[in-house]
Amino acid sequence: MQFLHTMVRVSNVDESLAFYCDHLGLKEVRRYENEAGRFTLIFLAAPEDLELAEQRQAPLLELTYNWDPEEYSGGRSFGHLAFRVNDIYETCRSLAEAGVVINRPPRDGRMAFVRSPDGISVELLQAGDALEPCEPWASQPNVGTW
């Protein structure tokens, strides 16, 4: 068995690509538009997985956009997506500057949670050992749900 991808439905392609690509740093690998089915599939990979993803050998994040408007309500049963980052403080600073709410700040120098424009919970984990706790993160409370 091989893990292939995780699919999340999105309501706005531009907002979602800004979040996942511009802010989190994922890269678009391929896109499939189905006019008869009225949907678009956009496959994204982490930068370090890009070469393998282009050969269909790495797990991907599939964004599914249905052309006809639908309202999506996410349950906590989905859980979350998780990404390892090189510097959790820099990643969270950059996301916050882009207007992304840091729901669970990286107080411990190891883990943070944010949400996509469609409410998908995204866990960010520090690569290697946890960084030393520091401000402004160490004293920030959780915001909303994560």
H-type alpha helices, the chain: 13-17, 50-54, 88-97
Alpha-carbon separation of residue 71 from 30, 34, 67 (angstroms) = 25, 20, 12
123 catalytically annotated: yes
Sequence-ordered alpha helix ranges (H) in 46-145:
50-54, 88-97
Nearest to 120 by CA among 145, 95, 139, 92: 145
In the chain, which ranges are E strands? 5-10, 27-34, 39-45, 60-66, 81-85, 102-104, 111-115, 121-126
Please tell me which residue in 90, 97, 123, 135 is annotated as part of the active site.
123
Active site residues: 123
